[in-house]
Amino acid sequence: MPRANRRRRDDAPLNVDRALGGAVRRETYAGLEWFVRHVTGAGASREYLCPGCQQAIAMGTPHVVAWPAEGVGGLGDRRHWHSPCWSARERRHPGGAYR
């Protein structure tokens, strides 16, 4: 009897890429590799808390989304950063948003 349903692997990098619908780069932070995507102001449809400065990222503000490229998490662990905070990430210490 054939199996009708195939389970989708939503944690595969390719699918993550597709889900976010943009160019994704790999960058390093805190000794880890992260997928990073730059969000346009039009794509920022809600307010986020930046882990770099613990300040809100207002709706409509271009910013950066980053999530671990390896290990636990994936899309569920993504964080929204102000672009300048991400650029200065090695000089900042996340304020409890990370494990």
Task: Please give the residue ranges that form the binding site for Zn ion (CB under 5 A).
Answer: 50, 52-53, 82, 85
Residue with smaller CB distance to Zn ion, 69 or 85: 85
Q: Supply the minimum distance, in Å, between the C-beta of residue 31 and Zn ion.
A: 21
Q: What backbone torsions phi and psi does residue 58 show, to the nearest 5 degrees? A: -65, 150
Looking at the DSSP bridge assignments, the partners of residue 68 are: 34
Length of the chain: 99
Inter-residue contact 75 to 19 (CB < 8 Å): yes
Q: Which is closer to Zn ion, CB of 35 or CB of 48?
A: 48
Q: Which helix (H) or strand (E) holds 18?
A: helix 13-20
From the CB of 85, what's the least distance to Zn ion, in Å? Answer: 3
With respect to Zn ion, which residue has the nearer C-beta, 53 or 75? 53
